[in-house]
Amino acid sequence: MLPKSTAPSQKNNYRVFGNMALVVPKELEELDKPSALSSPRPFEVRFQVPDFGVPIRDFLRSREVGEFLSGALAGAMTKAVLAPLETIRTRMVVGVGSKNISGSFIEIIEQQGWQGLWAGNGINMLRIIPTQAIELGTFECVKRAVTTAKEKWKQNESPKLQIGHVNVNFSLSWISPVAVAGAAAGIVSTLACHPLEVLKDRLTVSPDIYPSLSIAISKIYKDGGIGAFYAGISPTLIGMLPYSTCYYFMYEKLKKSYCESKKKKSLNRPEMLLAGALAGFTASTISFPLEVARKRLMVGALQGKCPPNMAAALAEVIRDEGLMGLYRGWGASCLKVMPSSGITWMFYEAWKDILVVEKRML
């Protein structure tokens, strides 16, 4: 029995050692108990993986991705719609079968069925989808960048250079964002997709030597390395630059002028089709002599008597066929370019309305 003075309080405990009792504070009693801190804990290594979901979703919803996808879908749908015309044109150019459109159409149906009208469309799809996606996406991106640069340059007052009593004002007002974007679109898409053009030409012209895509890739690389995939890139770029610049400039100019005259914000689908066809017609007419010279360089390379450059090819055409020789095949080219341009712009604007506008609203 403990004395009253030494009776443990409610906050203390006591322990008995023989005839002695020792009062132990409750805090020390808690320390004496085995705790979670004193027990061994297993070794843990935790890695926190960054959440890439938000930036990926934001990227996929961006305007640039929407325009890129719109270009790819427009190219695919245009090529699918015009594949029969391309098949008939190819047969007529190489001299296979009938020499008129209706006769060639009937021959293909009788010999191969409806599927024959889309023969070889797979390789064209592989070429046109990335080409149109890169071209139209580059056009939109560069046009916005140049427009923004012009506005900032104008707000900050363009720099001036004084040479004696002459002041030179460096202004960007004379630069057309559409023309610059059109030129950039043609150059970038050509550089990126020219190997696909080379593959298409080899598979079309020499199917006996290049029976499949894999064989064509391995054989071209074996014969000339990476550089062989860029054969003819210089004349292609020279011909593409004026065509692409004029093509995009004319389409935007026609669209803007028509909307202003009719006091409307945008074109409807038939108007887009017509504006695109006229833009393709104008661009093809202006740049067609360069296209003739480019083909003369390609044919000369195959025959072993290639002109040294584009100017020499143009001079050779004029010497052999006169000035009209520069437009040989122009009509057939317009029959292909006009519907292709119109349908491409119609599909592209339609897909852009769906993909880009909805993405901005999310």
CA 148/CA 177 separation, integer angstroms: 9
Which one-letter DSSP state was computed for residue 62?
S
User: Residue 258: CB partners within 8 Å, gap ≥ 6?
Assistant: 267, 271, 275
Q: What are the pLDDT tens digits along the chain (362 aa)? A: 445 444 444 445 555 555 555 555 555 555 555 554 455 555 566 656 666 666 666 666 788 888 999 999 999 998 888 888 777 766 665 556 666 777 778 887 888 777 777 776 777 788 888 999 999 999 999 999 999 888 887 777 666 666 666 666 666 677 889 999 999 999 999 999 888 878 877 776 666 787 778 888 888 888 888 888 887 788 788 888 899 999 999 999 999 999 999 888 888 999 999 999 999 999 989 888 888 777 777 655 555 566 667 788 788 888 887 888 788 778 777 888 899 999 999 999 999 988 885 544 44
User: Residue 261: CB partners within 8 Å, gap ≥ 6?
Assistant: none
CA 32/CA 42 separation, integer angstroms: 23
What are 68-80's pLDDT values in tens digits?
999 999 999 988 8
CA 77/CA 96 separation, integer angstroms: 27
CA 178/CA 89 separation, integer angstroms: 32
Enumerate the β-bridge partners of residue 23: 14
CA 284/CA 336 separation, integer angstroms: 10
Element (H, E) at 343: helix 330-361
What are 159-181's pLDDT values in tens digits?
666 666 666 666 667 788 999 99
CA 202/CA 204 separation, integer angstroms: 5
